[in-house]
Amino acid sequence: MDYADKEEFLKEFGEDYGYPNGPKSIDQIRATEFKRLENGTVYLDHAGATLYSELQMEAIFRDFTTNVYGNPHSQSDISLATCDIVRAAREQVLDYFNASMKDYKCIFTSGATAALKLVGEAFPWSHQSSYMYTMENHNSVLGIREYALSQGAAAFAIDVEEAVDNDGLSEGLVTSTKISLHPIQRRKGASFPERDPAGDAYNLFAFPSECNFSGSRFNLDLVNIMKKNPERILEISPFSKGRWMVLIDAAKGCVTQPPDLSKYPVDFVVMSFYKIFGYPTGLGALIMRNDAAKLLKNTYFSGGTVAASIADIDFVKRRQGVEELFEDGSASFLSIASIRHGFNLINSLTVPAICRHIASLGMYVRKVLLSLRHENGADVCTIYATYTSEVSYHDTGSMVSFNLKRPDGSWFGYREVEKLASLSGIQLRTGCFCNPGACAKYLGLSHSDLLSNIEAGHVCWDDNDIIHGKPTGAIRVSFGYMSTFEDAKKFIDFIRNSFVSFPNKSANGNLSRGGSSHFSPEGMERWLSVSKYVIKFITVYPIKSCAGFSVERWPLCSTGLLHDREWLLKSQTGEILTQKKVPEMCLISTYIDLNQEILVVKSPRCRDELPINLKPDSYNGGIDEIDLYGQRYEVLGYADEVNLWFSKAIGRPCSLLQCFSPKFRVCLNKRGDTVMCRDLESRLNFTNEAQFLLVSEESVSDLNSKLSSNTRKGIDGVTVKVNPMRFRPNLVVSGGEPYAEDRWRNLKIGNNCFTSLGGCNRCQMINFTHKDGQVQKSKEPLATLASYRRLKGKILFGILLRYDITELDTDSYLEVGQEVHVNPE
């Protein structure tokens, strides 16, 4: 690490970074409580879930192994003691929000989402009610809208301007707060009934204390405005009438700035504990004002929520305590007992110190990202946030959300960034972060854009990161109380090295980030002068994602090599299985005897090999249809004994299917556009994109030279060296310069002609190896390939080929040693 960079950082942020006045420095915290990060992992998704401390978990383990806890719904001594622990935990939660027990109650839930659902279900909605929420809200908050609309209430989103919290005490901010209303939504009736002049309707306003998309914080003065003088914001709108209640989603914001409920009389606050100190998961809380609790109605009753009930008549007497009334069933008392250990840790550092520490890292990353420029002077990074010039860096939040641009102004896809970050040991978050309103607002996506993206097949967590030239989401890095400058620096270095365009130093094999291949003139001249390439290896992979077998000579057919990728494995749920999800598939070896017409499979997990007859009379599973990569296939199934063998081989239930015929020869998405499959003119078996994959020995040799000079180490600390079979090629050729195949357009092998469909996009499957019957995974060679073979979000190695068949010749073969004649671009 460059120590000068850290010195500069400490000059600006040294008073706040690293807990200078705390019981431990940040370096001591990392060394004693987060040893599991010493493997080089950089965790930057604390807004999703922060990490638990190892000392915290040791304290919990000691607690659980020295004390006995029982169900609080019992009268035994142990159960009564457990009740005391739960009661103390409620007080600790209220203390965290500076809430008086006289005014508030703490209800434990399974998480912040469950707390929000409870409010939505139990709120006294009517046709005169309104549900108002800010555009920047988590889906779990938007979901309350369903309860409101189903009861005839109105629902509408708003944008809040100039509502960033400076110090929480500003008196002049009230007059500057403005809102703009989005369209009113109603599900029952087209007209809006007159408001009750008595103002008996109950309305709910929901907003986050901190936006989990941008990190922007909302001014908590909104609470007092909406509760005391809603007309100040809603003006003459009919929705200003009635009684307004306020809900704050503090799941993200309470980590560094929990709402002070002694100053802001919020009716409902929701939170999750794993966001604050990592463990326990599956536990949250609803902090609710006592007067608000009286208005909520919990329809369902369960053990713990009733004082008495009669089974065969309509009679139930509910408990009167707020906690007892809304906590259905037995509380998660062991999880509740563990939160005091988390709070002890946070209190030892103090929330203000944690806030300052985290903010210093966020501001540092934000400043560096904004300063990055490509070689042509174009900005590299667009950051999504709304801050006023008066906001100090302490109030800019713990996260940075952004997207990256190429020198020509086009966008890098966020999935490309996430995949490359993972290869570098950096864990971050991409997408919309379950906050569609903020995502659309900051990315400038209109309703037509959003609907068009959905029509194109885009859904949450897919790989459609760029549609019609626009990002569909963003990249987010977020920091926790244990994050370090070194974490931030490694992330910045990753962005610089992977996405910033510097003056090119051309070298054979490099692919420019701007979108075109480039070779040194000397290398290109040598490449063009070479005329002899020969086939060194031919490999057939009968079963998709399983091992193949090498041959000296093999027949061609309309789908490529005969029987190549003709079979696949399908799970009981209908999922097509590959090594990406079932790495053990690589342990299944295959061989086809054309004379005997059998496919033989072996596995170290199965005692006997399995011969499978290729003749039609061997099928006992009937004909079915499946979809694969947008293409529909008719498939043939096999008898139970075959499926049981494969289930044992991969350790999960599955069935073997054989391609009978593809019903369509093109790959279509929901809009009818061709997608994924680049080979649209020929028949395909169960291949991803094309009939053949070709790699060259020279390209593999060049990759190995880069791996040997690389500081990255592979499994067991041994320098990684790969052979061509790591890439699962059908054809391995030798001759010429490394990566000469990038420029091939057509090939002729014997009397057979082929067309290049371009480079093969590599995935993490090439990082899998097997040793002694075990599958092992490293970051290589994909990480090294990503450093010099990346083009428009793809990591290319090898080329895809289509067999240009005219009239099928039954004597068409490929043979090791044949010359390959190429026609370059």
Active-site annotation, residues: 434
Query: In sequence order, which residues have a C-beta less than 8 Å from that of residue 599 and are 6 or more positions away?
Result: 542, 563, 567, 590, 591, 592, 611, 612, 614
Cα maximum dimension of the chain: 94
- Give the whole-angstrom CA distance, residue 259 versus residue 222: 12
Tell me the HSE value of 641 on the side-chain side, using a 13 A CA sphere. 8
In this structure, are strands 243-249 and 268-272 parallel, antiparallel, or unpaired?
parallel
- Give the whole-angstrom CA distance, residue 397 versus residue 365: 12
In this structure, are strands 178-181 and 381-383 parallel, antiparallel, or unpaired?
unpaired
Q: Of 653, 823, 664, whose CA–CA distance to 744 is shortest?
A: 823
Token code pair at residue 682: 């020929």
Cα-atom radius of gyration of the chain, to the nearest Å?
31
Token code pair at residue 664: 């369509």
Q: Of 397, 366, 391, 38, whose CA–CA distance to 216 is shortest?
A: 397
Query: In sequence order, which residues have a C-beta less than 8 Å from that of residue 181 and are 6 or more positions away?
Result: 156, 157, 158, 237
Helix (H), strand (E) at residue 348: helix 333-349
In this structure, are strands 381-383 and 202-208 parallel, antiparallel, or unpaired?
unpaired
- The packing angle between helices 351-371 and 485-499, to 10°, is 20
Angle, alpha carbons 799-803-808 (nearest 5°): 165
- Give the whole-angstrom CA distance, residue 811 versus residue 809: 5
Per-residue b or e along 791-820, where b marks 16 or more CB atoms closer than 10 Å to that residue's CB: bbbbbbbbbbbbbebeeeeeeebbebebeb
631: left (phi over 0), alpha (psi -120 to 50) or beta: beta
